Amino acid sequence: MGTCEDYKEAAYNFGKTLAERGHNLVYGGGKVGLMGTVADGAMSAGAQVTGIITEKLKEKEVGHHGITELITVQTMHQRKQMMAEHADAFVALPGGIGTFEELFEVLTWNQLKYHQKPCGILNVAGYYDDLARFLRHVVTEGFLKDRHLQSLAIDSDPTALLGKMSQYVPDNTEKWL
């Protein structure tokens, strides 16, 4: 859950806000941590919640059995691929290296046009402020085009973030570099 109580409350409210806006949730299938809290918030407001979890994680009893559907796969690669196929958008909440890895993977896939789905960060209590500054630095240093950074919506308010993401227009530039 992290050290800040705001993370848990924001995760629950994000899931609830998704559902209230008519969206369903596809996520990693866990019942623990913020991902389980997002799922609980979405379920509380009537969303369909699909979790995709590996057999190994499910064996450790972290699978969320109170959701609409829990799909079990063998590998993390299968898990991420299936989540990407089932999702219409991607949002990162505060988290650790797994969250970062998944965020950067979907951003890379967007840049390479493997998908053209909106990506966002819910920046709870300034958790991602330094990352946002660093990404602007990456643009300044010429390692990322500004148009690719602009494909990432960042906001501290769930409703505002989802609003920004609903306005997403894919980059149609042929050359991605």
Residue 171 has a pLDDT of: 84
Distances (CA, A) of 19 to 12, 94, 95, 160: 11, 20, 22, 15
36 Rama class: left (phi>0) / alpha (psi -120 to 50) / beta: alpha
The answer, yes or no, to whether residue 113 has pLDDT greater than 80, is yes
Instruction: Note the pTM of the prediction, 2 decimals.
Output: 0.94
pLDDT band at 173 (very low <50, low <70, confident <90, very high): confident
Per-domain residue ranges of the chain: 5-166
Residue 176 has a pLDDT of: 58
Residue 56 has a pLDDT of: 94
112: tokens are: 């390479």
Distances (CA, A) of 8 to 2, 11, 80, 87, 171: 8, 5, 23, 23, 34
Q: Could you read off the pLDDT of 115-126 as tens digits, one per residue?
A: 999 999 999 999
Pairing status of strand 152-155 against strand 49-54: unpaired
pLDDT band at 175 (very low <50, low <70, confident <90, very high): low
Q: CATH fold of 5-166, please? A: Rossmann fold (3.40.50)
Instruction: Tell me the average pLDDT of the chain.
Output: 95
The answer, yes or no, to whether residue 12 has pLDDT greater than 90, is yes
Nearest to 175 by CA among 149, 155, 145: 145
The β-bridge partners of 175 are: none
Q: How many CB atoms lie within 10 A of CB 81?
A: 13
pLDDT band at 73 (very low <50, low <70, confident <90, very high): very high
Q: Calculate mean pLDDT across residues 133-142.
A: 98
Residue pointed to by tokens 């390479």: 112
Q: Calculate mean pLDDT across residues 98-103.
A: 96
